Amino acid sequence: MSSINLIDAFQDFKDAENIDRPTMMKVVEDVFKTLLRKKYGSDENFDVIVNAEKGDLEIIRRRMIVEDGQVEDPLAQIAYKDAVKIEPDFEVGEELYEEIDLLDFGRRAILAAKQTLASRISDLKKNVLAKKYGDRIGEIISAEVYQVWKKEILLLDEEGNELILPKSEQIPQDYFKKGENTRAVVKKVDMKNNNPVIILSRTSPDFLAKLLEIEVPEIFDGLIVIKKIVRDPGERAKVAVESYDDRIDPVGACVGMKGSRIHGIVRELKNENIDVINWTSNIQLLIQRSLTPAKITSMELDNENKHANVYLKPDQVSLAIGRRGVNIKLASELTGYELDVYRDNEGETEEFDIDLEEFSDEIETWIIDELKRVGCDTARSVLALTPEELERRTDLEKETIDDLRKILKEEFEKE
């Protein structure tokens, strides 16, 4: 009996661990029953027996022995005179089981069957992969960076499956090296040319939600619920949380002792500032909390048009707006209200300014502290002083002052 070199095809099945044995048997059976239908016109009287371990199969033909000249269906019946040629002990009325030599199908048909089998195995693997990751959408996975390209990076999971992290789903400060492990959330599974493409994301709010779930046991246990997350990846995020247990402070639990829980997440998100606030159905209070770290004085609400005028002291306006307007933009997304910020004492729109703390990623902390020491808390207050005056009043050198002013000016030019 020829195994027609099926071992390679069966090996593919064994390598695809997620394909169960019954499925494997069914696929092989279907492929060879197709072969039988092409040759005999029907597969009804044939049994395909698969031996996956050895990498071969048997095809058994079943026919009923009838009197000579009484054969009505050659596929299901055989004349007595032909049956005794196979085995002399046969009698009329018995069923004859005969093994079909695969080589009888012809070399071309056998090769076609093998190719069909390999193709079906490949399709099964794709379906298994698509289902596996389709069921894991929204979950965090860790994968190894395999290839870094301009528009995306290719990662491999523990089974060697290829995953894609597009540039648009990367945090702007992300930097990847081949061979290192990185974490991301499964965003979606696309089908491209009948191949599953698993798309990962590090910018999705789901990524931050899952990181919080890992770091904060109360979220994992369901005692604290994340009501909403808004992000400007790598810059700032706002997380509204609510506790189902009055004894638990949801904000304190998420931040942890001295920021121990949130610190690891901030590091993973490339120093993204994370504001955790208490969720409330009181929209006025929610807007007030969402504008953290600014403290507001009063507010005018237009619930019908989802609009709010927020009044703050002059020194709080830059905090409310934030660098590049990120803080107020995220507060609007979180609350669902369009927010306009005004000076409390004038009722006029505040000239755009930026708190120096917002530049902590570009300007060293000791320089910011030195500027605050001489009364400069915002970018405009620094630019209002001449370089000579800054040099005279601070311990900063001329080069440092020039670099500092250049950074601050560029930010306003962007705006």
> Which CATH number does the domain housing residue 143 bear?
2.40.50.140
* Amino acid in the structure at residue 385: L
**Residue showing tokens 């989802």:** 306
Find where tokens 């890992």 sit.
214
338 domain-assigned: no
Q: Are 299 and 289 in contact (CB under 8 A)?
A: no
At a CB cut-off of 8 Å and minimum separation 6, what does 298 contact?
311, 344
Q: Tell whether 160 and 126 lie within a shared domain.
A: no
**Residue 236 · residue 327 · CB < 8 Å:** yes
Q: Are residues 105 and 50 in the same domain?
A: yes
Say how many CA atoms lie within 13 Å of 265 toward its Cβ.
27
Query: What is the Cα–Cα distance from 387 to 384, expressed in whole angstroms?
Result: 10
Same domain as 158, residue 94: no
Asked, for residue 274, whether it belongs to a domain, the answer is: no
> Does one domain contain both 115 and 178?
no
- pLDDT string in tens for the chain (415-residue length): 344 455 455 555 555 555 666 677 777 778 778 878 887 777 787 877 776 565 567 788 788 888 887 877 777 788 888 888 887 877 888 888 877 777 777 778 777 777 777 777 778 788 888 888 999 999 999 999 999 999 999 999 988 889 999 999 999 999 999 999 999 999 999 988 888 999 999 999 999 999 999 999 999 999 999 999 999 999 999 999 999 888 899 999 999 898 899 999 999 999 999 999 999 999 999 999 999 888 898 899 999 999 999 998 888 888 888 888 899 999 999 999 999 988 876 544 446 678 888 888 888 888 888 888 877 888 888 888 888 888 888 888 888 999 988 888 887 776 5
Nearest 10 degrees: Cα torsion 319, 325, 330, 336: 100
CA angle, residues 31, 36, 38, in degrees to nearest 5: 100
pLDDT the model gives residue 414: 65
For residue 291, tell me if it sits in a domain.
no
CA 51 to chain centroid, in Å, comes to: 39
Among left, alpha and beta (phi > 0; psi -120 to 50; other), residue 188 is beta
My answer on whether 152 and 49 are in the same domain is no
Burial 261-270 (b: 16+ CB within 10 A, else e): bbeebeebbb
Residue 345 CB burial class (10 angstroms; 0-12, 13-18, ≥19): exposed
Determine whether 53 is exposed, middle or buried from the number of CB atoms within 10 Å of its CB (0-12, 13-18, 19+). exposed
- 117 and 28 co-located in one domain: yes
Q: Examine the domain organization and report whether 92 and 59 are in the same domain.
A: yes
C-alpha dist (Å) from residue 279 to 153, 227, 249, 329: 37, 7, 12, 18
- Tell me, yes or no, whether 232 lies in a domain: no
Residue 400 CA to its chain's centroid (Å): 42
Both structure tokens of 90: 């046969």
Last residue of a domain, one of 161, 176, 203: 203
Residues 111 and 142 in one domain: no
Is 334 within the bounds of a domain?
Answer: no
Phi, psi of 276 (to 5 degrees): -105, 125
Count of alpha carbons within 13 angstroms of residue 289, beta-carbon side = 19
- DSSP assignment letter at 350: P
Q: What does the block give as tokens for 255? A: 């931040």
C-beta of residue 254 within 8 angstroms of C-beta of residue 223: no
Residue 21: predicted pLDDT: 65
List the domain range (segments joined by +) for residue 63. Answer: 7-132
Closest to 268 (Cα-Cα) out of 226, 224, 228, 237: 237
The pLDDT score that the predictor gives to residue 9 is 54
pLDDT at 3: 46
Q: Does the residue 188 lie in any domain? A: yes
Q: Which of 186, 203, 220 corresponds to the end of one domain?
A: 203
Are 17 and 124 members of one domain?
Answer: yes
Whole-number pLDDT of residue 226: 96
- 87 in a structural domain: yes
- Domains: count for the chain: 3
Q: Tell whether 57 and 158 lie within a shared domain.
A: no
pLDDT of residue 351: 61
At residue 3, what are phi and psi to the nearest 5 degrees? -90, 0
100 and 163 within one domain = no
119/147 same-domain check: no
Q: Is residue 217 part of a domain?
A: no
Helix (H, G, I), strand (E, B) or coil at 61: strand
pLDDT at 212: 95
**pLDDT of amino acid 140:** 95
Q: Which of 168, 185, 203 is the last residue of a domain?
A: 203
CATH of the domain at 13: 3.30.1480
